A and B are shown apart, each in its own frame.
Chain A
Amino acid sequence: MTIIGWLQISLLFLAVLIAIKPLGLYMAKVFAGERTLLSPVLWRVENDLYRLSGIRADKEQSWLAYTLAMLAFSLAGFVALYAILRLQAYLPLNPQGFAAVPPDLAFNTAVSFVTNTNWQNYGGETTLSHFSQMAGLTVQNFVSAATGMALAIAFTRALARSKIATLGNFWVDLTRATLYVLLPIAFLIAIAFVAMGLPQTLDASVSATTLEGANQVISLGPVASQEAIKQLGTNGGGFFNVNAAHPFENPTAWSNYLNIFAMLSLSSALVYTFGQMVGNRRQGWALIAAIAVLLVSGVAVTYWAEAAGNPILTALGVDPALGNMEGKEIRFGQAMTALYAAVTTGLSDGGVNGMHGSFTGLGGLVPMFLIQLGEVLPGGVGSGLYGLLVFALLSVFVAGLMVGRTPEFLGKKIEAREMKFAMLAVLILPLAILGFTAVSAILPVAVASIGTAGPHGLSEILYAFTSAAGNNGSAFGGLSGNTVWYNTTLGIAMLLGRFAYVVPVMAIAGSLAAKVKAPASAGTFPTDGPLFVGLLIGIILILGGLQFFPALALGPIAEHFSMLAGQTF
């Protein structure tokens, strides 16, 4: 580790910290329907949209109606995307003449983008037409992120309100998230990316003759625009197969900075929005503090593990000062790769600028573990916030009794109904991750896809299902995922991770909204102080992470200690 490396990391966190408040306040205004800077331009568009689609913006929905609207919208998105992928040969903007995407891959990809996972079993530049990328993937990049934001805002309202049975209107929240937040910011970022040298064209790939006289096909396309929303919406599905390690997706240290900033700032700001909307900004900051502690720890461990390198290689004469550079881009180095890896998995982004599978055992453990925690650091836009709030409810419930009162969070009593749905939600990740991994670990057709022997092979499977169920989308590398088995099971894991999780969470929101909000007193469990931050971190680690410990012990942990012991597989 170097001082320069840490300076780079700190500078990025500082920039995000500065952006949190203005962005958070802006979103609070947007979702409250108040006038903002962009209202003069967008107000008319917004209302025209409502009129055209017959939505009454002032009509609020119960949690069930809200959730059903979300499910219907996601189903429609899935059907549309699946159709586009299957029919891309007949659709316009296909200069390379790509054929239809096979059914299992189309299912996997459609689910992947609708659930904001963006797991890529396809190679973008060699499989998908510009139309599929733009009208299919990019559209979902926007609306799946907006869906997550809408859900988070609905949950926030549940805690902000007292004795109100409704949570807002899904269509309105969805429209505002897209129109006022994602579109304008993505537009700015896309322009910046173009300035940094990312291609933005509808032309086909370019052929070039290399110095050796060989013919090279250089893929091009609308990269900058897709890259902007990929990061902003914590989608992570890159234009190119190697994602942000590709020089056209992420050409410079600056573009790398903007990549990380874009994904981290909006999600973090949403936590601030939460504090603002429930009338307790300190609560927002307390949650951000818990996130920061875990996220910085994740960065530190990865950076340390990668900088420490591999003793087996050192023994073979590699300069130990280089650390482990396998799977990393020279233009980013270890610090920026470690930062990217931790942020993309602490979030639900899933873009990568290095190959996590090439990290050392410990370095690879961190991204995997951060996803397993439930991607709440601060998670995907929206999905992270409500995941974090479920943990906050659990923390309050477990430890809140210790102050001698029935647990309450922000004045809302946490009772049997909330616990029932919280446990249902918390069950999903271990179920989807460990269940599919355990089956894949012994099923011959699944084991055949593994790229590496030894514990690393298990890590590849574990990472894939972790990434899918966590709706992350990043890949460990090594595993050949484009098989019927993985396309199908990963698709199911993604669906479980998104919808089986969010439905009980919304049920909690409905139940909380209807409860009276009790005023705080000296006897109330304080949830906005450092004590709560520590408690929340403990609960996230113990209830969110500990159940994966046995699986991790057989994968990255065994790999790490074996490496230290000089054992190879």
Chain B
Amino acid sequence: MSKEHQASSLLDSKILVPAARDAVRKLDPRQLVRNPVIFVTEVVAAVVTVLFVRDLVISPAAAGFSGQIAAWLWFTVLFATFAEAVAEGRGRAQADSLKKTKSDLVARRLKPDGSTDTIPASGLKVGDIVLVAAGELIPGDGEVIAGVASVNESAITGESAPVIRESGGDRSAVTGGTQVLSDEIRVKITVAPGSSFVDRMIALIEGAQRQKTPNEIALSILLSGLTLIFLFVCVAIWGLAGYSGTVLSVTVLAALLVTLIPTTIGGLLSAIGIAGMDRLVRFNVIATSGRAVEAAGDVDTLLLDKTGTITFGNRMASDFLAAPGVTAGELAEAALLASLSDETPEGRSVVALATGEFGVAMPRAEFDAVIGFTAETRLSGVDQGGRRLRKGAVDAVLKFAGLADQDVPAEFRRAVDQIARTGGTPLAVADGNRLLGAIHLKDVVKPGIKERFAALRAMGIRTVMVTGDNPVTAAAIASEAGVDDYLAQATPEDKLAYIRREQQGGRLIAMCGDGTNDAPALAQADVGVAMQTGTQAAREAANMVDLDSSPTKLIEIVEIGKQLLMTRGSLTTFSIANDVAKYFAIIPALFVATYPALDTLNIMRLTSPQSAILSAVIFNALIIVALIPLALKGVAYRPAGAAALLRRNLFVYGLGGLVLPFAGIKVIDLAVSTLHLV
């Protein structure tokens, strides 16, 4: 995965100290009630504390045991709140630096009469127009309506190279807190202060607006249900034991309850969620909701723009194919002249090819007329003397030359077909009504992209390439890049229709885009990633924004989503599997006084009933701390099919969860009995 921000170390005291403070603050039952499992643990801890105080007064001999149980129950709660606090603390460090950038922004607001006044940025309203000159910070999110400037966006992207922002087109969006380096621009504020991009980012990172995601809610229901069942079991045990004359103390039943309910996953659940969001932020992606991160893990189909994702955005001229009776040099010279006015990367690549490989000298002639390249005409050229040189899309040039289909030489047609079939784009060059030849523009597929698609396929994710190219070109590139499907000559409507169709079939779609015309598709997609360089409309429609503006990021986003779900599932499985060992520690301890034969069930050979119960409670608390790093880092992830992932994780966390507590409780029991704690 590329370009990850330096992850702060888990043992960073800058995070741990405030987290420990927060952990205590989070013990507030009103806050804890959001987490039923830990809330029940807290209530039980409080009850046992009361019993401990009673023991102190009535039977000090028993107080040692109930005191230790109470202490460890409190630790269990504390460790859970600590896990959440650490996760939040890691994000907060990042949020603090963001806050600094926007704390003292001022705006030069343009008044209707043309004069300006200076107000604090927090006083801006949507629709206000502000002037920002070189060296100044842009006061709020908005759109450039006049001027062009280079802007340093490193405060939010971490990328120090400045970017160009200009009015009109797809590069008009600016973000509050970024710095204009040159020139002056007029910015129309489009977002009210307080809900700007940086504000949202801070809120997300701090977890302040964190809502439970759908899967988190479902999992909480399962955990609450289990808690209810075990609560019931423990109450029932009291009655069942009464039958055989065993009187169980509330302290041991409380210990049994807390060890049986899924405190491990219950304590780590929200930390896992926060850490997942945090991981995205470290990859320079801001998600507007946790729901989107979860959906990313479920994605079935990735809609990828060909340009910039699969190929290096620019098509490059790679060859001149002269028409019959025309020399290659002649064609190269004509192509060069016709391309001088074409500032597109394609145009420049023609110039580079002609002056470089074909050795044509850069002309210094005067031209009668210069025809620049536009999207409408799709050709460029010059008029010089009697020559009317044009270069451009084949049909546009043929139309310019006034050539009917039957007039086009067969060689030329073959050359054009050949170029298109191999995934290239043919351009034609003509002088008046004389066809000079074709230029081979080639799309270069990024190295390594084919392997990534193969990995995605193994994960069950289809890749679909979206391109404006004709079907022949699209097919050639699709096969070279190894995508599963392609959408040729795609209009934004086609994209939207494709997404709808896939969703009808029950698939989840992710796509990225940056233009305003991508906005509907971005909104329709289950995961829509907008580029930070994109338009405001695209950024609003998407549920994630990539600050690096790298279309390949979509793949990493999917992986982060999957890792988040995997971590949650692995720790749930681990937590539930733990119960087996805990039963074997506590049940014989509870009943051995009544039925001595039940000591056979004490397969761990724990020292005494009291040490067995205490050891299980201690294990139950410590395992939360031990798993905090895993919850924050996420389980190891490598792209593989579901069957392979399941086999591996079931082995590690299922079987591990079954076996580990037997060893853990035994070790703790040895320590407890060696130290004579009970």
Contacts and interface: CB of A to CB of B under 8 A. Distances in A.
Interface of A: 162, 394, 397-407, 411, 414-416, 418-420, 422-424, 426-427, 430-431, 434-435, 437-439, 441-442, 447, 455, 457-458, 462, 516-519, 521-526, 529, 531, 534-535, 538, 542-543, 546-547, 549-551, 553-554, 557-558, 561-562, 564-565, 567
Counting chain B CB atoms within 10 Å of each CB, which of A404, A420, A439, A542 scores highest?
A404
Contact of B642 (A405, A431, A439): A405
A427 B590 CA distance: 24
A517 B228 contact: no
B241 A402 contact: no
Contacts of B222: 394, 397-398, 419, 423
Contacts of B243: 441-442, 447, 457-458, 554
Nearest to B649: A402
B217 A430 contact: no
Contacts of B458: 522
Give the interface SS of chain A, mostly helix, strand, loop or mixed. Answer: helix
B563 interface: yes
Contact of B579 (A402, A415, A546): A546
A561 B298 contact: no
A458 B563 CA distance: 48
Contacts of A420: 221
Contacts of A517: 506
Given A406-B294, A419-B222, 9 more contacts: A162-B506, A399-B654, A404-B563, A423-B225, A434-B240, A435-B236, A438-B238, A549-B583, A561-B600
A551 B591 CA distance: 11
Interface residues on B, range: 35 or more
22 contacts: A398-B576, A399-B654, A403-B642, A405-B565, A406-B565, A419-B222, A434-B232, A437-B240, A438-B237, A441-B240, A442-B242, A462-B240, A516-B504, A519-B505, A521-B300, A523-B300, A531-B643, A543-B226, A547-B229, A550-B240, A550-B590, A561-B598
Interface stretch (B130-138, B567-575, B666-674): B567-575
A430 B233 contact: yes
A438 B598 contact: no
A435 B232 contact: yes
Contacts of B642: 403-405, 522-526
Contacts of B237: 438, 550-551
B214 interface: yes
Contacts of A553: 587-588, 591, 598, 601
Nearest to A361: B597
Contacts of A442: 239, 242-243
A529 B642 CA distance: 12
Contact of B221 (A423, A516, A550): A423
B230 interface: yes
Contacts of A414: 218
B459 interface: yes
Contacts of B645: 402-404
A551 B244 CA distance: 12
Contacts of A521: 300, 460-462
Contacts of B595: 455, 554, 558, 561-562
Contact of A399 (B217, B569, B590): B569
Given A415-B215, A427-B229, A558-B598, A401 B650 contact: no
Interface string B437-475: 000000000000000000001111110000000000000
Nearest to B587: A553
A542 B222 CA distance: 14
Interface in B475-508: 504-507
B566 interface: yes
Nearest to B567: A401
A367 B241 CA distance: 22
Nearest to A538: B654
Nearest to B651: A531
A554 B595 CA distance: 8
B326 interface: no
B300 to A, nearest CB: 6
B218 A405 contact: no
B653 interface: yes
